[in-house]
Structure 1
Amino acid sequence: MPEHQGLKQYFPAPEAFERHRLCTEILQRYDIRGIYNQTLTNQDAYVLGHALTLHFKKHTAEPIPAFLVGHDCRPSFPALKKALIAGITEAGGEVFDLGLAPTPVVNVCTLQQKVFDLPASIVAGIIITASHNPAPYNGFKIMDNQGIPVCGAELVDLLNANVDLSQITSQTRPVQEASYLLYKYLLYLLGHFKGLHHLKNNKKYIWDTGHGVCGPLLEKLISHLPGSHHIMNQTPDASFPDHTPDPSVEENMQTLKKAVIQERADLGFSIDMDGDRLGVIDAKGHYWNGEKLSYLFAEHLCQKQKTKIIVDVKSSQSILERVKDLGSEADLCPTGHALIKKILKEQPEISFAGEYSGHHYFPHTYCLVDDAFFSALTVLNIDQHSPLSDTFQDLPSVYAIPQKQIHFPTHEDKQKAMKVVEQRAKTLNLDPITLDGVRLNFHFGWGLIRASNTEPALTYRAEAQTEKSLAEILSLMETTLLETDS
């Protein structure tokens, strides 16, 4: 490889390299995400690879830190991947390239490197993805080999402290092709469901991957599962011609719902763009969003043994009440996979965590990774013994609104608006929960307002025991807390 080829390509003037800073707008709480060639550039990818390599050289015992790298199907991935790898290798690091891969595959391999016969020099996994954002977006999700995401303020500090022109080398290592890990991942996943082959073989299942990255791997997975399976929107296509691959929005589930009813299927599974979130349609067409699935998983675990679970602040109070009724512990936690994974690492007694958005974590029975494939197989297993279409009627009857958004021009404007909400909430004498936004609890329900971690928007939702109580909570939120001065 010619000397410093990547550096010269992305920074013809070397001094520009050390001055380069990523746009603060794309350094989000969970990941890096921006519009390609506007807020996110190839230069950013090179600097990111360089800084991560120097950081892990300093803070681990690995003189040659290695990274697992995967990507989704966006048109910008080849250029960003090339720049990222150049930044890593020219800083003295090594790359194992999984190619097109769901986020949980990269994360599971990174976390379970001994199981996958990977070298101990693997320090982190990097996925080039912007999840369900439109095709012009792209970004990076980073997780270290302890299961902790590298993001937010920590990533900002890392980038500022690890850009050093003198550390660039021409002695680079060739990229290791590692797509074989996808098959090893399937074996690892199926190893957690050894009883599946004993289950009924007359069931019919429909899967919708929304033209995201999961279709090719899912095709291999279903060949190992009982029953008949059909995959919709299987071909990766970042233009998302049928619908946005976001199962947390009921509108995106309509194609799957129609197919389940028409085909008289037993279940329909919807997986998001990069494979870490799940939504389900049961045989009667009921929509199981992330919140309802959290209720299902938590109840299933707590019926087996006393344990502790957590759900994010956007989730229903009914989950906490059901867990406590079963003799287990339940708490609220902040929204976001990065924060939740840190909590799970710090509190090993927690056996399950769930998010309203469809992320689910099973640290006792799986690992610290939010994996839609694992969640789907868990649902399949539960449904074999207790059909979800029958269980749905046993869910608590509450009145709730789905998440709503108020958009702002910038993230800074969003944060200013959130501070106003927090100040107004203090005047209500309601003892709000403020671990992530403002959650107001009443004896008849609750309401939440928080700043989105991925968009310049405030989000809010509410839940109550009656329609009238829900209207009262919404009125308080919209006319007192969210009212603008205009």
Structure 2
Amino acid sequence: MERLSSFKAYDIRGKVPSELNGDLAYKIGRTYPVLVNAQKIVIGHDIRKSSEEISAALVAGLTESGVDVIDIGLCGTEMVYYATPALEADGGIMITASHNPPEYNGMKFVKKGSVPVGYDSGLKEMEKMILRDELAPKSTKQGTMKQLDIMYKFINNLKRFYDAKKIKKYKVVVNAGNGCAGLALNALEKDLPIEMIKVFNEPDSDFPNGVPNPLLIENRKPTIDAILKSKADLGVAWDGDYDRCFFFDEKGNFIEGYYIVGLLAKSILKKNPGGKIVHDPRLTWNTLEIVNKFGGQAVVSKSGHAFIKQKMRKVNSVYGGEMSAHHYFRDNAYSDSGMIPFVLILQLMSEENKPFSQLVEEMIAAYPCSGEINSEISDPAGKIKEIEKKYSDGKIDKLDGLSVEYDNWRFNLRMSNTEPIIRLNVEAKGSIKLMEEKTKELLNLIRN
């Protein structure tokens, strides 16, 4: 079947204008309402230069299809996730390419209740309609478009997740990376007792300080430098559309997202005893121990936001976390958020009365991990079979790639959906040396 290169597993994303442009955005506006049976759709966009042009074309397609559009303007992805149920819309579309370079743009889609729409749950049908030029007929009654500022309501909604009176007067470095997070931080600042040390807070479509992706090691230095210079208690950095946040301790150490899942599980279970916590299978032991210790029930799911959200809805899970820094909350329409983890960690630090480094070092010592390591190879599927054979004496699980577990160490290998890449994660029980040895051993096998 012919394919549109910008249609991915979970969203639409591509270079502008070769893979995504006003013409395609208009056609999306003329097809998406049919798939979700929409009369009213919320849209928003990130800071990219192409976002307003793509937004205008999308609005034209939607309104010509008879759909009423509520445009919440420049925002984070989680604001569309919040606004879709809050404004009783039938769907939501966020125009963003998240942490990709400036020449990219994209769209993330949800239907009623902010249920995600991916390639296997609607985008494939939309792609077929566009390729066949089977757009929905123009409506006899043009839809309306109104702009709505929902920042106050969005920030107010966050108060359901934290108690400002229980948060200490910390000094916190916040790095918006010139993405959209700065607008939300400015609005949230008055509600928190903390002092914010702001880094790259102004939205800037040129991304003068690099693409807002804190997973890139070279992008972490400004946050670390600000923490050390200001003697801050915590550092937090967001990606471009701030649906993910990344944490640094007061010593300037970047903390793997795996351990943040454990801390958030602890925070959530304090308020929701016996709750179900959904996690991905890449790194698991720390999460399992914490969920068990605090009386919760751990439920494993294939990684990826569509799978995690689906599993959470199925088992009525209160929180779902991925080591990739995606955190999902039942009371947030099962959607991911980069702001809720921020306020929850502030309150947890205050309640535990410990430096952030102490909270995470205990977990790191118990379950040291490699972090995700990517290797580009010619035959990922063949390599995974080869490694499965070599480690066939371990406990094997294939829920998501290949997981192999021994008494004191385990690993997970997954293929990328879009590139000839294998992703490796290794963890051990109480031994950094063992974790490092096994990581080296596996990388030698993968790359040779």
Q: Same fold (TM over 0.5)?
A: yes
Residue 323 of structure 2 corresponds to residue 323 of structure 1 = no
Question: Aligned-pair distance for 1:177?
Answer: 0.9
AA aligned to 1:285 is: G
Distance 1:56 1:166 in 2: 12
Residue 145 of structure 2 corresponds to residue 175 of structure 1 = yes
- Indicate the RMSD between aligned Cα atoms, in angstroms: 2.5
Distance 1:282 1:333 in 2: 29
Judging changes above 3 Å, is the alpha-carbon distance between structure 1 residues 372 and 455 closer, same or farther for their aligned structure 2 residues? farther
Confirm or deny: 8 A CA contact 2:113 2:333 kept in the other structure: no
Distance 2:341 2:368 in 1: 26
Distance 1:258 1:166 in 2: 53
Residue 220 of structure 2 corresponds to residue 246 of structure 1 = no
Residue 307 of structure 2 corresponds to residue 339 of structure 1 = yes
Question: Aligned-pair distance for 1:256?
Answer: 1.2
Judging changes above 3 Å, is the alpha-carbon distance between structure 1 residues 443 and 40 closer, same or farther for their aligned structure 2 residues? same
- Name the counterpart of 2:193: 226
- Name the counterpart of 2:385: 423
AA aligned to 2:151 is: L
Confirm or deny: 8 A CA contact 1:425 1:438 kept in the other structure: no
Q: Secondary structure at the match of 1:138?
A: strand
Question: Aligned-pair distance for 1:456?
Answer: 5.1
- Name the counterpart of 1:148: 115
Question: Which deviates the most, 274-283 or 387-396?
Answer: 387-396
Candidates 52, 55, 64, aligned match of 1:78 = 52
Question: Aligned-pair distance for 1:191?
Answer: 3.9
- Name the counterpart of 1:28: 8
- Name the counterpart of 2:423: 459
Question: Aligned-pair distance for 1:104?
Answer: 0.3
Q: Secondary structure at the match of 1:26?
A: coil
Distance 2:395 2:58 in 1: 47
Judging changes above 3 Å, is the alpha-carbon distance between structure 1 residues 407 and 172 closer, same or farther for their aligned structure 2 residues? farther
Alignment of 1:237-386 (within 5 A): 237-302=204-269, 305-348=273-316, 350-363=317-330, 365-386=331-352
Judging changes above 3 Å, is the alpha-carbon distance between structure 1 residues 75 and 48 closer, same or farther for their aligned structure 2 residues? same
Question: Aligned-pair distance for 1:366?
Answer: 4.0
Larger Rg: 1
Residue 20 of structure 2 corresponds to residue 51 of structure 1 = no
Question: Aligned-pair distance for 1:279?
Answer: 1.1
- Name the counterpart of 1:37: 17
Question: Aligned-pair distance for 1:109?
Answer: 1.0
Confirm or deny: 8 A CA contact 2:67 2:144 kept in the other structure: no
Q: Secondary structure at the match of 1:315?
A: coil
Distance 2:441 2:12 in 1: 35
- Name the counterpart of 2:42: 68
- Name the counterpart of 1:102: 76
Candidates 365, 368, 371, aligned match of 1:402 = 371
Question: Aligned-pair distance for 1:467?
Answer: 4.6
Distance 1:68 1:468 in 2: 50
Q: Secondary structure at the match of 2:339?
A: helix
Question: Aligned-pair distance for 1:92?
Answer: 1.9
Question: Aligned-pair distance for 1:273?
Answer: 0.9
- Name the counterpart of 1:470: 435
Judging changes above 3 Å, is the alpha-carbon distance between structure 1 residues 261 and 316 closer, same or farther for their aligned structure 2 residues? farther
Question: Which deviates the most, 84-93 or 311-320?
Answer: 311-320
Judging changes above 3 Å, is the alpha-carbon distance between structure 1 residues 302 and 473 closer, same or farther for their aligned structure 2 residues? same
Question: Aligned-pair distance for 1:310?
Answer: 2.0
Judging changes above 3 Å, is the alpha-carbon distance between structure 1 residues 166 and 370 closer, same or farther for their aligned structure 2 residues? closer
Unaligned runs of 5+ in 1: 1-19
AA aligned to 1:308 is: K
Distance 2:180 2:49 in 1: 13
Q: What is the total number of aligned residue pairs between the two structures?
A: 438
Question: Which deviates the most, 135-144 or 317-326?
Answer: 317-326
Q: Secondary structure at the match of 1:108?
A: helix
Judging changes above 3 Å, is the alpha-carbon distance between structure 1 residues 240 and 313 closer, same or farther for their aligned structure 2 residues? farther
% identity of equivalent residues? 27
Question: Aligned-pair distance for 1:454?
Answer: 5.9
Confirm or deny: 8 A CA contact 2:175 2:199 kept in the other structure: yes
Question: Aligned-pair distance for 1:322?
Answer: 2.9
AA aligned to 1:168 is: K
Question: Aligned-pair distance for 1:124?
Answer: 0.8
Distance 1:264 1:235 in 2: 23
Distance 1:280 1:321 in 2: 21
Candidates 154, 157, 161, aligned match of 1:188 = 157
Distance 2:188 2:294 in 1: 34
- Name the counterpart of 1:441: 405
Judging changes above 3 Å, is the alpha-carbon distance between structure 1 residues 94 and 422 closer, same or farther for their aligned structure 2 residues? same
Distance 2:266 2:16 in 1: 42
**Structure 2 length normalisation: TM-score?**
0.90
Partner deviation per Cα, 1:359-386 (whole Å, 9 max, x = no partner): 11221x5441211111101111111122
Residue 141 of structure 2 corresponds to residue 164 of structure 1 = no
Distance 1:123 1:312 in 2: 29
Q: Secondary structure at the match of 1:139?
A: strand
Confirm or deny: 8 A CA contact 1:439 1:446 kept in the other structure: yes
Distance 1:220 1:94 in 2: 28
Q: Secondary structure at the match of 1:149?
A: strand
Judging changes above 3 Å, is the alpha-carbon distance between structure 1 residues 292 and 250 closer, same or farther for their aligned structure 2 residues? farther
Question: Aligned-pair distance for 1:21?
Answer: 7.0
Distance 1:21 1:234 in 2: 42
Judging changes above 3 Å, is the alpha-carbon distance between structure 1 residues 443 and 36 closer, same or farther for their aligned structure 2 residues? same
